[in-house]
Amino acid sequence: TSANEKKRNFTETVEAHVMLGVDPRRGDQMVRGAITLPHGTGKTVRVAVFAEGPSAEEARAAGADVVGGDELIEEIRK
């Protein structure tokens, strides 16, 4: 933020409403999407993988932040 900007006391949001004419109850007509925000959400993304043995090593090599099995479940519960 620059010195000229005021601190906002709310979370900024954007809504988009589009009339597509699809029936959401039908599985073949579902519409989903995703966007990438220009400055991100400001939150740090961490990847946790529940795996053991060779799969755990593969996950670590792929860049997972936390890898584990049952002990990881207990750690997350705390």
Helical H runs in the chain? Answer: 54-62, 70-77
Please give the chain's pLDDT, 78 residues, in tens: 555 566 667 777 778 888 888 887 887 877 778 888 787 777 888 899 999 999 999 999 999 999 998 898 888 888
Q: ∠ at Cα 15 (13, 21), nearest 5°? A: 165
At 59 the pLDDT is 93
* Number of Cβ within a 10 Å radius of residue 49: 18
At 6 the pLDDT is 66
